[in-house]
Structure 1
Amino acid sequence: MTIDLDAQLSAADPAIRLRAVGALHRLAERIEVAAVDAARADGWSWEQIGDALGVSRQSVHTKYGK
């Protein structure tokens, strides 16, 4: 499925733009999960991951340290 994100983000209908923003948020979350998992598998500490994401060690550990 190909989505023309530029067209959706510049659409006249706010509902279309808001759905596009929601889709971007969901995509960013999936990418972040994969990146955190890969970093942990490579031996990165929670502090290193937090620094890379611009958040505290505690917040990233709370979110992903299951």
Structure 2
Amino acid sequence: MLEFANLPNATEPADALAAVVALRRVADTLERRAVAHALGDGWTWAQIAEALGVSRQAAHKRLAPLVS
């Protein structure tokens, strides 16, 4: 797990912004894999949406094309 203290300092914008991009890519990959696994385990889009804190429609619209 990443420790906040180990993240690049925001006073170095190039390093900090590169870290933001990398973290987004990791988060997106983790989300897609978790959703695919949840669907494989029989979860509904409503359950996935609740776990992600979004509406069922939003979760399905954004993620269904990525995991199908």
The alignment's TM-score, normalised by the length of structure 2, stands at 0.80
Instruction: List alignment gaps of at least 5 residues for structure 2.
Output: none
Aligned residues: 61
TM-score (norm. length: structure 1)? 0.82
How far off its partner does 1:46 sit?
A: 0.3
- By relative contact order (CA 8 Å, sep 6+), the higher-ranking structure is 2
Runs of 4 or more, structure 1, over 6 Å off, are none
Q: CA RMSD in A?
A: 1.7
Alpha carbons of 1:59 and 1:10: their partners in 2 closer, same or farther (altered >3 Å)? same
- 1:53 aligned onto 2:52: yes
* Structure 1: gaps of 5 or more residues: none
